[in-house]
């Protein structure tokens, strides 16, 4: 069983595993190049271990939480590959993938990622299982527990892994809860459809005066 993992909740991450064993991990540490870099990274990471897209048996996608544009690239790409290759696609909370890489984690800890706008995404884990979250809040609201994740330094010094290892993600995805394939934005988008009707026709200026 060859599993391909992709995650664009922060930067661009790709992992390959065979029967639960990590084969390769790839990354492009650029939070603004998801659309351009994801598929080339998928192909080059597979090629590094002598595989091609047709060899993939299952696909797993990190569904966030994360920023709207970058996160959507990963989820849509994974879904499209699943349709084209006729392979199953599973969505997993990206913070779960971060937590899975902490091999000697304490009983309770928090996984954190950068939500920008002076906020962070976070979730609490106990025994390696997510028990609270994910949430988006100010860093000051994160519980006082050991930290891991790419946004941990925004809260306080971390003692766990600070990246999402996509190879570990691919190897352990079958053990993680299925989060569906709807991206976890946790925030309303900046651009929204207007609720009131507007017109481009100039409106006359109305003036009313009371007669004495």
Q: What domains can you pick out in the chain, each with its CATH number?
A: 2-175 (3.30.420.40)
Q: Dump strand ranges (E) for 47-191.
A: 58-62, 89-92, 108-116, 119-126, 129-137, 147-148
Structure tokens given for 95: 């913070």
Helices (H), the chain: 34-47, 68-85, 94-100, 166-172
Q: What pLDDT is stored for residue 188 in this prediction?
A: 57
Q: What pLDDT is stored for residue 32 in this prediction?
A: 72
Q: What pLDDT is stored for residue 67 in this prediction?
A: 87
Inter-residue contact 17 to 26 (CB < 8 Å): no
Q: What pLDDT is stored for residue 34 in this prediction?
A: 74
Inter-residue contact 6 to 74 (CB < 8 Å): yes
Inter-residue contact 183 to 63 (CB < 8 Å): yes
Sorted by sequence, the CB contacts under 8 Å of residue 171 that are 6+ apart come out as 3, 15, 17, 20, 21, 22
Q: What pLDDT is stored for residue 95 in this prediction?
A: 97
- DSSP strand pairing (58-62 vs 89-92): parallel
For the chain, list residues with pLDDT below 50. 190-212
Q: What pLDDT is stored for residue 170 in this prediction?
A: 98
């Amino acid at each position: 069983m060859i599993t391909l993992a992709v995650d664009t909740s922060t930067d661009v991450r790709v992992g390959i595993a065979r029967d639960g064993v990590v084969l390769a991990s790839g990354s492009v540490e650029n939070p603004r190049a998801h659309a351009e870099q994801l598929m080339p990274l998928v192909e080059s990471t597979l090629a590094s271990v002598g595989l091609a897209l047709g060899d993939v048996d299952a696909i797993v996608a990190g569904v966030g939480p994360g920023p709207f544009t970058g996160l959507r690239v990963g989820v849509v790409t994974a879904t499209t590959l699943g349709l084209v290759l006729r392979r199953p696609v599973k969505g997993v909370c990206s913070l779960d993938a971060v937590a899975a890489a902490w091999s000697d984690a304490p009983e309770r800890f928090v996984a954190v990622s950068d939500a920008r706008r002076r906020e962070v995404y976070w979730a609490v884990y106990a025994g390696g299982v997510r028990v609270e979250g994910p949430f988006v809040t100010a860093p000051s609201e994160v519980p006082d527990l050991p930290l891991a994740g790419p946004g941990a330094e925004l809260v306080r010094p971390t003692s766990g892994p600070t990246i999402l290892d996509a190879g570990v993600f691919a190897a352990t995805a079958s053990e993680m809860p299925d989060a569906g394939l709807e991206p976890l934005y946790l925030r309303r988008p900046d651009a929204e459809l207007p609720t009131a009707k507007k017109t481009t026709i100039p409106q006359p200026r109305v003036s009313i005066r009371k007669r004495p």
